[in-house]
Amino acid sequence: MTGIDSNTEQIIMKAARRVFTNKGFDGARMQEIADVAGINKALLHYYFRSKDKLFEAIFKEVLNTVFPKIIAVLMSPLTLFEKIEKVSFNYIEMLKQNPDLAIFVFHEISRNPERLVGNFKNVGADFKIIQTQITKEVEAGIIVPIKAEHLIANLISLCVFPFIARPVLMGMAGMDQAEYDRFLEERKQIIPHTLITAIKKQK
């Protein structure tokens, strides 16, 4: 090996990630990945034995980019309101820096959901922790009763959706890129406000 973990390998990963996230597994072509990487197609198979293997490598890399931080927040000892605020901020910020990841993950949901769920749990996601926290905060009179499933679904969907539906949103609302960026920035506040107001117990 020349450098750390071979330069070519990283170049390939970068190219593959770009092509896979844009086109999905089925739409991606090994030739295109090779072209983007500026190498021969056979070299792809030298480093990663098959298209599936290459995809899997990218997939794991993406999972490790996207989820650990968010899950860590959800599993931490913060209050529910703090978690909602932090996840909204971190998630949107991370997706702003990797706008294709949302689409990539969703492509994978419809292609191989089992593996995705498996990897999720491996990263330390445990649904019960949130469930017990909600139960406690309900009992403490802080929030109105709500199922954890709904709260988490609400939180994730509000954060992720704008990245998946970006072209439609921009097209329908007539936003340009700058306006869209501002829109995302606003959501860091609006999402927590929406969710917290809806579950906060009135005195």
- What residue ranges bind a copy of itself (CB under 8 A)? 22-24, 26-27, 103, 106-107, 109-111, 113-114, 116-117, 120-121, 125, 127, 146-150, 152-154, 156-158, 160-162, 164-165, 167-169, 171-175, 183, 186-187, 190, 193-195, 197-198
Of the two residues 90 and 131, which places its CB atom closer to a copy of itself in the complex? 131
Sorted by sequence, the CB contacts under 8 Å of residue 21 that are 6+ apart come out as: 62, 100, 101, 103, 104
Helix (H, G, I), strand (E, B) or coil at 72: helix
Residues in the chain: 203
- Crossing angle of the two packed helices 101-111 and 7-27, in degrees rounded to 10: 60
What distance in Å separates the CA atoms of residue 183 and residue 194, rounded to the nearest whole number?
Answer: 15
Of the two residues 12 and 151, which places its CB atom closer to DNA in the complex? 12
Angle at 127 between CA 126 and CA 130, to 5 degrees: 110
150 binds, among a copy of itself, DNA, none (CB under 5 to 8 A by kind): a copy of itself
Task: For residue 167, give the amino acid letter.
Answer: P
Binding mask 32-51 for DNA (x = CB under 7 A): -------xxxxx-xx--xxx
What distance in Å separates the CA atoms of residue 73 and residue 42, rounded to the nearest whole number?
Answer: 42
110 binds, among DNA, a copy of itself, none (CB under 5 to 8 A by kind): a copy of itself
Of the two residues 42 and 172, which places its CB atom closer to DNA in the complex? 42
132 binds, among a copy of itself, DNA, none (CB under 5 to 8 A by kind): none
Q: How far is the CB of 25 from a copy of itself (least distance, A)?
A: 8
Query: Is residue 127 near DNA by the rule CB under 7 A?
Result: no
Q: How far is the CB of 166 from a copy of itself (least distance, A)?
A: 8
What distance in Å separates the CA atoms of residue 56 and residue 166, rounded to the nearest whole number?
Answer: 26
Out of 16, 28, 74, 130, name the contact with DNA by CB under 7 A.
28
Of the two residues 36 and 169, which places its CB atom closer to a copy of itself in the complex? 169
Bridge partners, 143 (sequence order): 200
Angle at 79 between CA 133 and CA 185, to 5 degrees: 120
Sorted by sequence, the CB contacts under 8 Å of residue 15 that are 6+ apart come out as: 33, 34, 36, 37
Binding interface with DNA (CB under 7 A): 1-2, 6, 8, 28-31, 39-43, 45-46, 49-52
